[in-house]
Structures are given as C-alpha cells and as structure tokens.
C-alpha cells in the first residue's frame, strides 16, 4: 500500500507541475480535454504520431508524453514522442506565424531530432524547487532543446536515455 501511495503522490505532483506551467488553469484544462478528444478521434497516440511526422517502415513509437518545450517566448505545451528513429515534439495548439503578405498562418510548433543527431540527454532541476525537473537534449551540432513539466518525468527520461544508448549500441555494431 505504501508503494501505491508513493506512486499516486508522484503522479499528483507531476500533474500539479504540468498544470502550473500553463498560463491559466482553465486554458490548460481546456487544452488537455481538447487533446484527449483529438487522441480518441484519431485512434490513439501512434496514429497521431504517424499523421504529424514522417514514419519509416519498421519504426516503432516507444513512448508519448505530455510536457512543455522551453522556448525564449515561454513554455509551449505539447506531446513528446520517442520512437526507435527520432525524438519529436508537436504543440497542443497552433501558433500564429507571420506570412510575407502580412497575414498570419496558424501552424503547430514542431521539433524533430533523428536519434543519430543526438549527442546526449541530461537531467536538471530548479535549485530553489528541486521538484521542478528539466530534460535537455544535446545534438551533435551543438543545439540544446529543453523540456519540462512532464506528468511522469522519470519514465520519460529513462525511456529517452535507453533509446539513445540502444541506438549508440546499434551504431557501434556496424
């Protein structure tokens, strides 16, 4: 029973941290409900992944999790997908992008990093609030991509770490 209580507490804390990063609680909850409805309509996370990103023959979706992508304009809520070929993020909501004709186009914010371009993944936490955990993906060409506000940070980090190390092992065997 103690283990179950600890898991429930960890999950509740993850939900609280995830919701806290949003601008307004009502908007965050509305976004989560909309995302859940979309997942059901499409037929699951794997189908959403295949619709949003190019998908190779034999590629497997290993994990999908809700989180925030850290940007200079602030955190962007979305889904992080970890597959056997890539790490990909897509925002929950579309953002406005200015066009050459002066109008705005609404698009989803996407990030895709092939596993062979990932140098490593690092953990970090807020020194003042250690419960706030961050994940950094470092690419071979010197970019760093930060994610935060995971519902289950440890599972996401472990999956990503295992996927990258497995990919490195596969490369070493050739």
* CATH for 163: 2.30.29.30
DSSP string for residues in 104-171: EEEEEEEEEEEGGGEEEEEEEE-SS-TT-EEEEEEETTS-EEEEE--SSHHHHHHHHHHHHHHHHHHH
Q: Tell me which DSSP letter residue 70 carries.
A: -
Residue 91: inside a domain: yes
Residue 19: inside a domain: no
Distance CA 125, CA 130 (A): 5
Give the list of residues 6+ apart from residue 11 with CB closer than 8 angstroms, or none: 151, 152
Give me the domain span that covers residue 49.
32-172
CA-nearest of 87, 148, 140 to 118 is: 140
Q: Is 10 helix (H, G, I), strand (E, B) or coil?
A: helix
Tell me: the pLDDT tens digits for 124-170?
988 888 778 899 999 999 999 999 988 888 899 999 999 988 876 76
Residue 36: inside a domain: yes
Residue 159: inside a domain: yes
Residue 21: inside a domain: no
Tell me: the pLDDT tens digits for 39-95?
556 666 788 888 889 888 999 999 999 899 999 988 998 999 999 999 999 998 888
Number of domains in the chain: 1
Look up residue 76 and give its two tokens. 């962007």
Element (H, E) at 74: none
Residue 165: inside a domain: yes
Residue 62: inside a domain: yes
Q: What angle do CA 148, 80, 139 make, to 5 degrees?
A: 80
Residue 126: inside a domain: yes
Question: pTM for this one?
Answer: 0.75
Can you give the pLDDT at residue 23? 60
Look up residue 81 and give its two tokens. 């997908």
């Amino acid at each position: 029973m103690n283990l179950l209580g600890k898991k429930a507490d960890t999950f509740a804390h993850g939900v609280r941290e995830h919701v806290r990063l949003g601008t307004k609680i009502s908007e965050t909850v509305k976004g989560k409900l909309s995302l859940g409805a979309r997942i059901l309509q499409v037929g699951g996370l794997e189908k959403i992944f295949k619709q949003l990103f190019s998908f190779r023959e034999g590629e497997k979706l290993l994990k999908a999790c809700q989180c925030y992508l850290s940007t200079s304009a602030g955190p962007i809520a979305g889904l992080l997908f970890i597959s056997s070929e890539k790490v990909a993020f897509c925002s929950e909501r579309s953002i406005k992008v200015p066009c050459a004709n002066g109008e705005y186009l609404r698009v989803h914010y996407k990030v895709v990093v092939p596993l062979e371009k990932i140098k490593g993944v690092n953990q970090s936490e807020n020194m003042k609030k250690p419960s706030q955990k961050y994940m950094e993906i470092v690419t071979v060409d010197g970019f760093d991509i930060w994610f935060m506000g995971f519902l289950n940070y440890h599972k996401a980090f472990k999956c990503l770490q295992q996927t990258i190390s497995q990919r490195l092992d596969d490369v070493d065997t050739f």
